[in-house]
Amino acid sequence: MYLIPAIDIIDGKCVRLTQGDYARKKVYNEDPLEVARAFEDAGLERLHVVDLDGAKAKRIINHKVLEKLAAQTRLHIDFGGGLKSTDDLRIAFECGAQQVTGGTIAVKDPELFASWLATYGSERIILGADFQAGKIAVSGWQESSDADLFAFLKDYWAKGVRYTISTDISKDGLLEGSALDTYEQIREALPELNLIASGGVTTMQELEKLRTMGCYGAIIGKAIYEGNLTLAELSRF
């Protein structure tokens, strides 16, 4: 299982939100590259980058930060936040993202999302399936939808999606644990889907459970920044 540290960006800075609330923002570092290099030095291979300005603006904003991270580290970067057009996607890939994540677009413009899958292939397009109370959330978690999480995943599996990042918004940033039961149900329903768990991952024991159930990856954010999980621990994992 891949351990995937997260860097969320507002105004070019490394921040974390609590439950997706922009009013509950904490800046952890003025320089995301410094943070990314620390992850790389610890032996981690992947990085999850979210353009929170882009998610709010509904277009890519922090592509220059992405470009710097990709050019000055060897990390495999997946990038999301505000990708609403094919031009946004092109910019993200040109700036060095190996994969991009589309969530809102998959709900609001499924034909466009399907065209991305057809053009770039399922290895490069990740489905963002962020949820609250079993329903998919969109627009930087500012809106809920009527889409059921499991129906949404099964529909996109049939359309060719092979990777998904699924975040339980109710648990994100609280350091109280992740949606283990939901992830287990997803694994049972779609065992060949590469599931990346996200939101509330806090302890090494939790990471072991996610690995045991067969998750492809686990995204870790606030637990690193607040010291609940150290880079030394993650390196040994």
Residue with tokens 């413009």: 109
Of the candidates 8, 53, 78, 168, the residue annotated as catalytic is 8
Strands (E), the chain: 2-10, 13-18, 21-29, 46-51, 76-80, 99-102, 125-128, 131-132, 135-138, 143-148, 163-167, 194-198, 217-220
Active site residue 130: yes
The pLDDT tens digits for 203-235 are: 999 999 999 999 999 999 999 999 999 999 999
Of the candidates 51, 78, 130, 172, the residue annotated as catalytic is 130
Mean pLDDT, the chain, as a whole number? 93
**Of residues 210 and 19, which shows the higher confidence score?**
210
Question: Looking at residue 145, what is its pLDDT?
Answer: 67
Tokens coding 171: 């648990």
Was domain 2-236 assigned CATH 1.10.510.10? no
The pLDDT tens digits for 102-159 are: 988 999 999 999 999 999 999 999 999 999 888 898 754 555 667 899 999 999 999 9
Indicate the domain borders of the chain: 2-236
The pLDDT tens digits for 174-196 are: 778 889 999 999 999 999 999 99
What percent of the chain shows pLDDT beyond 70? 97
The pLDDT-based confidence of 16 (bands split at 50, 70, 90) is confident
